[in-house]
Amino acid sequence: MILLDSCPICLSSDLQKKFNCTDHSTSKEKFTIVSCETCDFKFTNPRPKDKSLGSYYKSDKYISHTNNKKGLFNWMYHTVRKYSITTKLNLLKKISKNKNHLDIG
């Protein structure tokens, strides 16, 4: 685990513990969530090392990596995800000069 002593966004060291949570889907580990009191960014601290991040997503229960729509929660998640992606894509098309999502300017 890597303990951060400053915010990865604004570099402030004014961090406050907010709550503990448990990864119920894969590792069963407990994590601490902190908040930067300067920019309000919330993040896991300490955080897992970069080389171990992939192990937290190796699960058929990790909903955003599956197409499982069985049950109300999974169906709702995928319905909202599809709506959200479609809405964002339409907004990008609307504001894009050349209809290219990588427009810069």
| pLDDT, position 57 | 75
| pLDDT, position 40 | 94
| pLDDT, position 70 | 79
More confident residue, 105 or 71: 71
Question: For the chain, what is the radius of gyration of the CA atoms?
Answer: 18
Report phi then psi at 49, rounded to 5: -65, 150
| pLDDT, position 6 | 97
| pLDDT, position 73 | 84
Dig out the tokens for 58 from the structure.
């190796």
How would you classify the pairing of strands 30-36 and 42-44?
antiparallel
pLDDT digits (tens, 9 = 90+) for 38-81: 999 999 999 999 998 888 777 666 667 677 777 888 889 889 99
| Largest distance between two CA atoms of the chain | 47
Show me where the domains of the chain are located: 1-59, 67-99
pLDDT digits (tens, 9 = 90+) for 93-103: 787 776 666 65
